[in-house]
Amino acid sequence: MNVMYKSTRGQAEAVPASQAILKGLAEDGGLYVPERIPALEVTPGQLKGMSYQETAYEVMRLFLTDFTEEELKGCISRAYDEKFDTREIVPLKEADGAWYLELFHGATIAFKDMALSILPHLLTTSAKKNNVKNEIVILTATSGDTGKAALAGFADVPGTRIIVFYPKDGVSPIQEKQMVTQKGKNTYVAGIRGNFDDAQSGVKKMFGDKALAEELDRAGFQFSSANSINIGRLVPQVVYYVYAFARLYEKGVLKDGEAMNVVVPTGNFGNILAAYYAKQMGVPIGKLICASNDNKVLYDFFQTGEYNRNRPFILTSSPSMDILVSSNLERLIYKIAGEDAEADRKMMQALASDGRYEITEEMRARLADFAGGYASEEEVAEEIRSLYEKTGYVLDTHTAVASCVYRKYRREQEDGRVTVIASTASPYKFTRSVMKAIDEKYDGMPDFDLVDELSRISGTPVPRAIEEIRTAPVLHDAVVEKDGMKEFVKKVLAAPGSDV
């Protein structure tokens, strides 16, 4: 059956998947949502024997209904290949009773690779299907991981350019090094003097700028988004929850009819929303546990029904979760408002003007699938240290937030269900914080010495992504003010094919 995509704000027409992927954001400023969530058409028994790629096809074909089998299979096989360092693509590791779903075996060792290795192919396929002649310009704001994963995904993909903005002082040294060393004639990177929310709102403003769009069109360009609001990122993320379930069912960890809980370290709410979609497709998932760091806007939201971004922005050791406005939450808000676009619009307007909104009691009642938790910086460090000491398994800081929230949830709720924890980054990506958590003595050691030390104490090889940047030259050194982003974009596009 055909699935169309409509806007959460209700003032843009419904479009097929390929157009929703091309547009990113709907014209009325809303997010595209599928008109209905399709049900899985394979049984748990059938899922058991399937590879990651086969599972991906079974899930994605139900959402991207205007893609042909050949197109979709082509996208999947080009995305999930040797760029991943394991044939399983997303291994599931047990440690101290929980199942860690390692989503970090792709090109940039963070979970963003799961979606961003396929998005460029979905996008160029969509462009072809819709006779788009313009060159596609990917504009992205990143809190660290999206940027590099998008750069890696789009580098030298014909018919595309990619421009990435990141908060100059808000990403880890390794994250920054990964971005500024990116190769590819069509890649551009700029640090901004501001935080992630500044970068994100600057990008959103450019997407909404009609005059800029016309100027671009005349020059043969059009914007598209690689941010997690694009359904071309959301849909591929549903896949690994289905896959995780299949592996646990195959192992006999989950019996017939038994559900698993899922804990997701959350920032922009994309990853956990994908788990929610998986549940609606029929995957047996119990609670969706949303884990926050000290920027616990979402935790407070689940506690009180009020979303309030008016609070200090805290820089933590889990920078990819340092977010006060979780864009993808709008899709959930729309859903629990009974798909009432006007109600959604009012709340999003209130968020834009007052920085807060409140949901109704009726809406709160529809949040029963979710639980919220958070972990402080001390708790995160303690979680890394104690799990390492107990099992030898080393978590990154983001996964440690989720792992800590999982433990708290279990203590408080007496819910003993099998639990999958989304492991969103390799510890090698946040080596400094991770090693310091394990032992204070590592404080002050140079970055790459820490990498070697982590390899030694964990008995795991240094990932290729880290080896590569040890000696790579810096190719991007632009830094712009937060109101200078548009200027930078114009400069990039005025200099076709050359470096800025």
**Residue 66 or 113 having the CB closest to ligand PLP:** 113
Using rule CB under 6 A, residue 424 touches ligand PLP: yes
Pick from 160, 172, 320, 433 the residue near ligand PLP by CB under 6 A.
320
The number of beta carbons lying within 10 Å of the beta carbon of residue 36 is 10
Using rule CB under 6 A, residue 238 touches ligand PLP: no
Strand partners of residue 481: 193
CA 326, 330, 336, 342 torsion-angle sign: positive
Using rule CB under 6 A, residue 112 touches ligand PLP: yes
Using rule CB under 6 A, residue 269 touches ligand PLP: yes
- CB of residue 265 to ligand PLP, shortest distance in Å: 5
Using rule CB under 6 A, residue 21 touches ligand PLP: no
482 is an active site residue? no
Task: Tell me the site size for ligand PLP, rule CB under 6 A.
Answer: 17
Using rule CB under 6 A, residue 432 touches ligand PLP: no
Whole-Å CA distances, 116 to 162, 231, 334, 477:
12, 12, 25, 24
Single out the segment in contact with ligand PLP by CB under 6 A; choices: 50-58, 104-112, 131-139, 189-197. Answer: 104-112
Using rule CB under 6 A, residue 295 touches ligand PLP: no
Using rule CB under 6 A, residue 265 touches ligand PLP: yes
Using rule CB under 6 A, residue 403 touches ligand PLP: no
CA 402, 407, 412, 417 torsion-angle sign: positive
For 165-194, give one letter per residue: b (16+ CB within 10 A) or e: bbbbebbbebbbbbbbbbebebbbbbbbeb
> How far, in Å, CA of 184 to CA of 195, rounded?
26
| Tokens read off for 497 | 């094919």
Using rule CB under 6 A, residue 292 touches ligand PLP: no
Contact (CB, 8 A) for 241 and 278: yes
Using rule CB under 6 A, residue 270 touches ligand PLP: yes
**Residue 145 or 330 having the CB closest to ligand PLP:** 145
Matching residue, tokens 């350019």: 161
- CB of residue 110 to ligand PLP, shortest distance in Å: 5
141: enclosing H helix or E strand: strand 135-141
Single out the segment in contact with ligand PLP by CB under 6 A; choices: 217-225, 261-269, 343-351, 462-470. Answer: 261-269
Q: Choose the catalytic residue: 6, 23, 112, 335.
A: 112
Instruction: Write the binding mask 216 to 235 for ligand PLP: x where contact by CB under 6 A, - elsewhere.
Output: ------------x-------
**Residue 55 or 108 having the CB closest to ligand PLP:** 108
| Tokens read off for 303 | 């506690």
- In eight-state DSSP terms, residue 446 is -
**Residue 124 or 397 having the CB closest to ligand PLP:** 397
Using rule CB under 6 A, residue 268 touches ligand PLP: yes
Using rule CB under 6 A, residue 267 touches ligand PLP: yes
* DSSP output for 171-205: S-HHHHHHHHT---TTEEEEEEES-HHHHHHHHHH
Using rule CB under 6 A, residue 316 touches ligand PLP: no
- CA triple 109-113-116, angle to 5 deg: 155
**Residue 115 or 359 having the CB closest to ligand PLP:** 115
Whole-Å CA distances, 71 to 118, 159, 214, 350, 423:
12, 18, 31, 41, 30
Single out the segment in contact with ligand PLP by CB under 6 A; choices: 23-31, 76-84, 110-118, 252-260. Answer: 110-118
Using rule CB under 6 A, residue 236 touches ligand PLP: no
Contact (CB, 8 A) for 112 and 191: no
Using rule CB under 6 A, residue 47 touches ligand PLP: no
453-472 residues in contact with ligand PLP (CB under 6 A) are none
Contact (CB, 8 A) for 232 and 119: yes
- CB of residue 321 to ligand PLP, shortest distance in Å: 5
Q: Could you list the active site residues?
A: 112
List residues binding ligand PLP (CB under 6 A): 110-112, 145, 228, 265-271, 320-321, 398, 424-425
